[in-house]
Structure 1
Amino acid sequence: MAGKSQWGEPLLTTFPSATLDARLNSDRARKLRSIVYEVKTISMLTRHFPSKILDDDWLVLLDCQTRKQRLDYLKFLRNREREREKDMEKKRLKEISSSLFVQETKCEHSSPLYYPTAKLAKEQRRQLWQRVANAYRCGAPTLVIDCRFLPLLSPRGAELTSIQLKYLISENRDSSAPWQLYFANFDLSNDKVRRLKRRHLSVIDSSSACSPVVLTIDYTHMFGRERIVYLSPDAEEELEDVDDENVYVLGGIVDRVVERGISRQASLEAATSDRVCCKRLPLDKYVKWKSGNKFLTLTAVSSILRDVNNSGGDWESALRRNIPVRNIRSAEEKCAAGRQLHEKIRHFDNQLLQILDREIGQEPL
C-alpha cells in the first residue's frame, strides 16, 4: 500500500451538488472542496468504498472533526450498502418462495378459506398496530429513549444510534407484548437531528405505522419523577424488578463508539441532573463477563427489560438470551481468525491515514 503502483483508479463517482454548494458559506464551501479531494484520494487507496455519496452524506463528512472520523463514516456507508444488498437478496428469495407457495396453495385449495397473500399481510399489519395501540390504552410498561445526546454524537455515532432507534421501533412493533415507547428530548430545531430523522426515522411521521410518541420536551415533564428509573452502567444500585408502574429511561448513545464530546458517565450525569433514580442492570450478579465493556445496545437492553417483565423476574434467562456472545467469551475463546481480521483492518486504516498525511498534508490540530 505504500507505493504509487498500488494506487487504483478513483472509486469516487458522486460529488456534492451545485444546490449543496450554494447553501454553504465561503469557509464551509472551501472546507468541502478539500474534503472532496481527501475522499477521492481515499477512494484510490481502498476497495471498501461506497458506490454513492449523497448530499446529506457530504454534510456529515463536512461536520466530522477529524480525518479518522471521515474514514470511519465512509466505511459505515459501504457497510450499510452491503447490508442493503444482502437484505434485497433475502427479500428476492422470500418473494420467490412466497410466489411458489401461493401457486401451490391455489392448486391444492380452491375452497373459500383461501386467503390471498396481500390481504393476509394487511391483516397482519393491522394486528401489529392494534397490539401497540393497546399497550398505550392498557398501561403496558413504559420505555423512554433520552435523545438529548443526538446533537453531540460524532457523525458515525449519530448514524449508528439512529439505526438502533429504528430497530427499537421495529422490535417493539413485532413483540407479542409491546411497551409504550417514547423518544424524549428529540430536538427538531437541531439540523443534525432533523437530518437523522429524515434518513432513518421517517416512520415516526407515519399515521399508519406503529410509531413511538415523540417529545421535544424532557421526560420529567411527562412522567412523575417518583416513577422514573434511568438506567446507567455507572449507577451504584442494581435494578431488581421490572414492573408495569415504572418508567424506564435509556440514554440514546450507541454502545460501541467512544464519543469525544460526551462524558463516559453521561447517562448517570443526566439522571443526577434530572433528579431521578438511577440504576444499573444486574449483570455482575447473573453473568460472568469475560471481555468487552458493559455498554449494551438499546435493543439489547429493551429486550432484556421486556423478557424480565414477561417472565416475572427471570433475569438469568433474559440476560443469557440477549447479551452478545462476544461479551461472555474470553479473548482466548474468541475466533483467532476474527481477531486477526480486525487487527489487519486497524493496521490498514492506520497505513491509509499515514499516506493521506504524506500526500495531502496533516490535519491542523
Structure 2
Amino acid sequence: MFFIARTVNGLIRKLDQSVTNISKPHYSTFNQVINNNIISCNTSRQYSTPTAESESEINYEEIANGDKEMEYKLKILALETEVMRQDGKSVPDNSFLRPDHWRELVTKTSRSARQKYLEYLFKIEKKNENRKEKSDERKKHYQEHLARREWEKSHKPEETLEEFALKHGLQHNNIFLRFYDTTINQMYNNRLIQAMQFGQKLVVDIGYDTDMSRRENLNCAKQLMLLFAENRAHDDPFDIHFCNANNDGDVMKQLRKYIPTADEPWFPLNLHECSYLDMFPKEKLVYLTPHVREEIKEYDHDAIYIIGGIVDKMNQDPLSLAKAKREGLKMAKLPLDRHLSWGAGSGKSLTLNQVAAILLDQKVSGNWEYSLRHVPRRKLLTEENTLRTIDRVYDRRRFNTDRARSNPNFGKVNFDKLSYNSNSPKSRSNENRERNSFNVKNIFND
C-alpha cells in the first residue's frame, strides 16, 4: 500500500503541474481521464514515484508549436505514458522520446496502438543502450591492448634489420596493397557517373507519400536505400532517377538519414521534385505495375522503366495502375507467373530493391530464369517448402488422432441434441415453437 500511495500522490502532483495552462472547460474531462487511468493501474506491481525531472524533460510548447489543443492532448498522453511505465509496461524514458515521437503518438487513435508504438520505441532504446555498452567495452579492450603492446615493446629486445626484413604479413613485407573503404566507394561512384553518361535510365516514382502510413513510408525509404546500394554494386548499373520527391515527406526525410550525402552536388544520385513526364519522352516510358495482364516478353534496352515507389502492406488499391492510366503511359509487369511456381498462401509482392535487381540481371543476361533468382525462395513452390507443408499437415492429423483416441466422443456429432427453432414473430408462442422445431435425426431417418 505504501508504493500505491506514493504512485497516486505522484500522479496527483503531475496532474497539478499539467492543468496549470489548461482552460476550465477542459479540466473536468482531463480529471476524468486521469482518474480512469489511475483506477486501471495494476496494484499487484511495485511502483516508483514519478520525479519532477522526468516531467521537465517534455517541452510541450516546442512539440505543439503553439497549438493549445495539441498541448492538451500531449499532457494527457504524457500522463498515460507514465501510468504505463508505473504499471510495468515496456515504455521508453522521456529523455529518449523526441518531438516527432510525441507527434506520432497523438495520431494514434487507440490505447493499444499507442502501447505498441511505445514498445517499439522501448526496444530501440534498449538496442541503443546495448550498442553503447558494447562500444565502451570494445574501447576498453582496445586501450588495454595498446597498453599491453607498449609494455611488450618496452621490454622486448630490439630486432635487427635482417630479422625485420624476414617478417611477412600486415605491417611487414607484403606484395599486396591495402584497399581502403574510401577507394571502394570511389570505384562504385565512378560506375554510377559512367552510367549517368552512357547507361540506361531507370525511374523510381516516389510520389506516394500520402497513400502510405508512416510505417510504410519508413519502410519505403529503406527499400530505396537498398535499391541504390544494389544498383551501385552491379557491374552495369542503371542511371536511377527518383522523381516526384517531396522534400517535406517522411520518405525523403528518412532517406536522407540513410544517405546523408544525397543532396551533395558531387554525389551520383538524381533527386527530382518534378515528374518524369517533364524529363523524358513519353513514348519511351513503361510503367511496371503488377495489376495488368501484359508481361515483359523481351527486355527493351531503349525503354525507360518506371518502378512505383510504394509499399502496399495495408492499402491494396492499384494506385500505380490508376496513375499510369491517368498519364497515358504504357504498362507491363514482370513475367513472374510464367517462370515461377508460387507456394500456397504466399504473396507475390516484391520489394523495390528486388525488382531493381531483377532488371539489372535481365539487362545483362537476358535470361529470366537467372534474373528471377532474387525472388525469395519462401514464396515459391519448392521441394523443401512442399515437404514442410506435408509435415505440418501430418502433425495436425496426428494430433487429432491422438485426441480421438483419448476422447471417444471427439469428432462425433450427437444428432439428438441438434434442433432448429424459428425465431420469427409468428412462432413466439410455445405451440408454434413446438410445431416449427424438428429433429435433425428424423431427416436422416427419412
Fold shared by both chains (TM-score > 0.5) = yes
Residue 207 of structure 2 aligns to a residue in which SS?
A: helix
Match of 1:311 among 365, 373, 393: 365
Query: Do 1:151 and 1:192's aligned partners in 2 also have CA atoms closer than 8 Å?
Result: no
Q: CA 1:220/1:159 → structure 2, altered by over 3 Å: closer, same or farther? A: same
Letter in structure 1 aligned against 2:314: V
Please, which runs of 5 or more residues in structure 2 have no aligned partner?
1-40, 146-166, 393-446
Match of 1:325 among 364, 377, 381: 377
Match of 2:260 among 189, 202, 210: 202
Deviates more, 1:56-65 or 1:125-134: 56-65
Query: Do 1:64 and 1:154's aligned partners in 2 also have CA atoms closer than 8 Å?
Result: no
Cα deviation for residue 129 of structure 1 reads 0.7
Greater gyration radius: 2
| 1:152 has 2:211 as partner | yes
Query: Do 1:233 and 1:281's aligned partners in 2 also have CA atoms closer than 8 Å?
Result: yes
| 1:300 has 2:358 as partner | no
Structure 2 CA distance for aligned equivalents of residues 132 and 325 of structure 1: 30
Letter in structure 1 aligned against 2:275: D
Q: CA 1:208/1:21 → structure 2, altered by over 3 Å: closer, same or farther? A: same
Query: Do 1:235 and 1:280's aligned partners in 2 also have CA atoms closer than 8 Å?
Result: yes
Match of 2:336 among 264, 283, 287: 283
- TM-score, scaled to structure 2: 0.60
- Trace 1:1-365 onto structure 2 (pairs within 5 A): 5=44, 16-17=58-59, 20-21=62-63, 23-41=65-83, 52-64=96-108, 67=111, 70-71=114-115, 73-74=117-118, 77=121, 105-109=169-173, 115-116=177-178, 120-140=180-200, 142-188=201-247, 190=248, 192=250, 195-210=253-268, 212-255=269-312, 257-259=313-315, 264-290=317-343, 291-312=345-366, 314-319=367-372, 321-328=373-380, 333=388
Q: CA 1:242/1:8 → structure 2, altered by over 3 Å: closer, same or farther? A: farther
Letter in structure 1 aligned against 2:204: I
- TM-score, scaled to structure 1: 0.71
Residue 202 of structure 1 aligns to a residue in which SS?
A: coil
Q: CA 1:114/1:315 → structure 2, altered by over 3 Å: closer, same or farther? A: closer
Letter in structure 1 aligned against 2:295: E
Cα deviation for residue 153 of structure 1 reads 1.7
Cα deviation for residue 152 of structure 1 reads 3.2
Q: CA 1:154/1:3 → structure 2, altered by over 3 Å: closer, same or farther? A: same
Per-residue displacement from partner, 1:78-108 (whole Å, max 9, x unpaired)?
Answer: 6666887999979x99xx9xx9xxx973355
Letter in structure 2 aligned against 1:275: G
Cα deviation for residue 31 of structure 1 reads 2.5
Per-residue displacement from partner, 1:228-270 (whole Å, max 9, x unpaired)?
Answer: 1111111121122333211111222125x213xxx52111111
Cα deviation for residue 214 of structure 1 reads 0.8
Letter in structure 2 aligned against 1:132: L
Aligned to 1:350: none
Query: Do 2:212 and 2:311's aligned partners in 1 also have CA atoms closer than 8 Å?
Result: no
Per-residue displacement from partner, 1:320-359 (whole Å, max 9, x unpaired)?
Answer: x2112331256983797xxxxxxxxxxxxxxxxxxxxxxx
Residue 165 of structure 1 aligns to a residue in which SS?
A: helix
Structure 1 CA distance for aligned equivalents of residues 334 and 114 of structure 2: 34
Q: CA 1:74/1:155 → structure 2, altered by over 3 Å: closer, same or farther? A: farther
Structure 2 CA distance for aligned equivalents of residues 196 and 63 of structure 1: 19
Per-residue displacement from partner, 1:93-144 (whole Å, max 9, x unpaired)?
Answer: 9xx9xx9xxx9733552x6x55355xx322211111100111111133x222
Q: CA 1:78/1:62 → structure 2, altered by over 3 Å: closer, same or farther? A: same
Pairwise CA RMSD = 4.0
Residue 240 of structure 2 aligns to a residue in which SS?
A: strand
Cα deviation for residue 50 of structure 1 reads 5.5
Residue 208 of structure 2 aligns to a residue in which SS?
A: helix
Structure 1 CA distance for aligned equivalents of residues 295 and 240 of structure 2: 23
Structure 1 CA distance for aligned equivalents of residues 292 and 353 of structure 2: 20
Identity value in percent = 25
Query: Do 2:222 and 2:258's aligned partners in 1 also have CA atoms closer than 8 Å?
Result: yes
Residue 237 of structure 1 aligns to a residue in which SS?
A: coil
Q: Structure with the greater relative contact order (CA < 8 A, sep ≥ 6): 1 or 2?
A: 1
Letter in structure 2 aligned against 1:26: K
Per-residue displacement from partner, 1:174-227 (whole Å, max 9, x unpaired)?
Answer: 222211111111122x454564345445331134544x2111111111112211
Q: CA 1:80/1:145 → structure 2, altered by over 3 Å: closer, same or farther? A: farther
Query: Do 1:10 and 1:43's aligned partners in 2 also have CA atoms closer than 8 Å?
Result: no
Residue 236 of structure 1 aligns to a residue in which SS?
A: coil
Residue 169 of structure 2 aligns to a residue in which SS?
A: helix
Letter in structure 2 aligned against 1:316: E
Deviates more, 1:190-199 or 1:127-136: 190-199
